[in-house]
């Protein structure tokens, strides 16, 4: 089976090395004997995004977000079609904001999003920075998630929009409601860096499984030896929670 991954705007949206998520997805597929390929797509490229199983988009500065915002408008219909066919999207920080209705900078400039998610983001004067511990339900199981946030944008969810996680330590979407990110079907938006999937292999496998089910609903991933990752995450969790 072939897992096709697209890294969107790696030249513009990779402020915090979010490309690490792409590497994790590719490697965890390959370690199971699957073929996994990565294409880098940026301004001026015109592929059919629905041909990909997973799309990954990272974060960037306001200037770069403005450039990407203009290009994303041209891809809006194609992205909607990709989601309708089951493509998984992982959008982090700036990429997350651009999937929403708009991002308004602290200076008052409004950068339009594509409205794939019913969220709105407003820039604050004080940045929200630090380690995050959260809880996410994956296949009915409550799972600890660890990451790192560094954002000034406060993201507010529209009516009926479901958060991706519940914050145990950290700020999350706005620092006000103790929620982090958004999950809408196969679309995941989050502020968590780390890289996120390197620190949370269970989440990486969940996304790979969702992506492969586009082609075969009966697919089940073989287990990997994640003992080291599990012990590391447990130690991080304990240290971070106890330091609250």
Mean pLDDT over residues 205-226, rounded?
93
Q: What is the pLDDT of residues 171-202, one digit of tens each?
A: 999 999 999 999 999 999 999 998 999 999 99
Residue 3: pLDDT band with limits 50, 70, 90:
very high
Task: Return binding residues.
Answer: 127
List of domains in the chain:
2-242 (3.40.50.880)
Q: What is the pLDDT of residues 125-166, one digit of tens each?
A: 999 999 999 999 999 999 999 999 999 999 999 998 999 999
How much is the pLDDT for 191? 98
How much is the pLDDT for 244? 65
**What percent of the chain is predicted at pLDDT more than 70?**
100
How much is the pLDDT for 77? 96
Q: What is the pLDDT of residues 72-95, one digit of tens each?
A: 999 999 999 999 999 999 999 999
How much is the pLDDT for 154? 97
3-state secondary structure the chain: CEEEEEEECCCCCCCCCCHHHHHHHHHHHHCCCCEEEEEEECCCCCCCHHHCCEEEECCCCHHHHHHHHHHHHHHHHHHHHHHHCCCEEEEECHHHHHCCCEEECCCCCEEECCCCCCEEEEEEEEEEEEEEEEEEEECCEEEEEEEEEEEEEEEEECCCCCCCEEEEECCCCCCCCCEECEEECCEEEECCECCHHHHCHHHHHHHHHHHHCCCCCCCCCCCCCCHHHHHHHHHHHHHHHHCC
Task: Return binding residues for substrate.
Answer: 127
Mean pLDDT over residues 224-239, rounded?
93
Average pLDDT, the chain: 95
Residue 206 has pLDDT above 80, yes or no: yes
Of the candidate ranges 52-56, 80-84, 189-193, 220-224, the one whose mean pLDDT is the lowest: 220-224
More confident residue, 16 or 174: 174
List the catalytic residues: 93, 193
């Amino acid at each position: 089976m072939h897992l096709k991954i697209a890294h969107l705007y790696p030249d513009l949206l990779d402020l915090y090395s979010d490309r690490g998520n792409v590497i994790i997805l590719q490697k965890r597929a390959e370690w199971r004997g699957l073929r996994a390929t990565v294409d880098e797509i940026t301004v001026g490229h015109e592929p059919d995004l629905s041909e990909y199983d997973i799309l990954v988009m990272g974060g960037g500065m306001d200037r770069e977000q403005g450039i990407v915002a203009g290009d994303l408008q041209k891809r809006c219909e194609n992205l909607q079609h990709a989601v309708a066919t089951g493509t998984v999207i992982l959008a982090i920080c700036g990429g997350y904001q651009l999937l929403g209705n708009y991002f308004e900078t602290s200076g008052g400039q409004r950068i339009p999003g594509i409205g794939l998610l019913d969220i709105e983001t407003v820039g604050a004067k004080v940045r929200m920075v630090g380690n995050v511990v959260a809880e996410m339900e994956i296949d009915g199981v409550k799972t600890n998630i660890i990451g790192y946030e560094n954002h000034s944008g406060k993201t507010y969810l529209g009516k009926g929009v479901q958060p991706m996680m519940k914050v145990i330590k950290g700020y999350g979407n706005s620092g006000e409601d103790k929620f982090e990110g958004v999950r809408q079907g196969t679309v995941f938006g989050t502020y968590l860096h780390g890289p996120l999937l390197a620190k949370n292999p269970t989440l990486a496998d969940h996304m790979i499984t969702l992506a492969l089910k586009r082609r075969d609903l009966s697919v089940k991933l073989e287990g990997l030896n994640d003992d080291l990752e599990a012990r590391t995450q447990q130690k991080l969790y304990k240290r971070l929670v106890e330091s609250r």
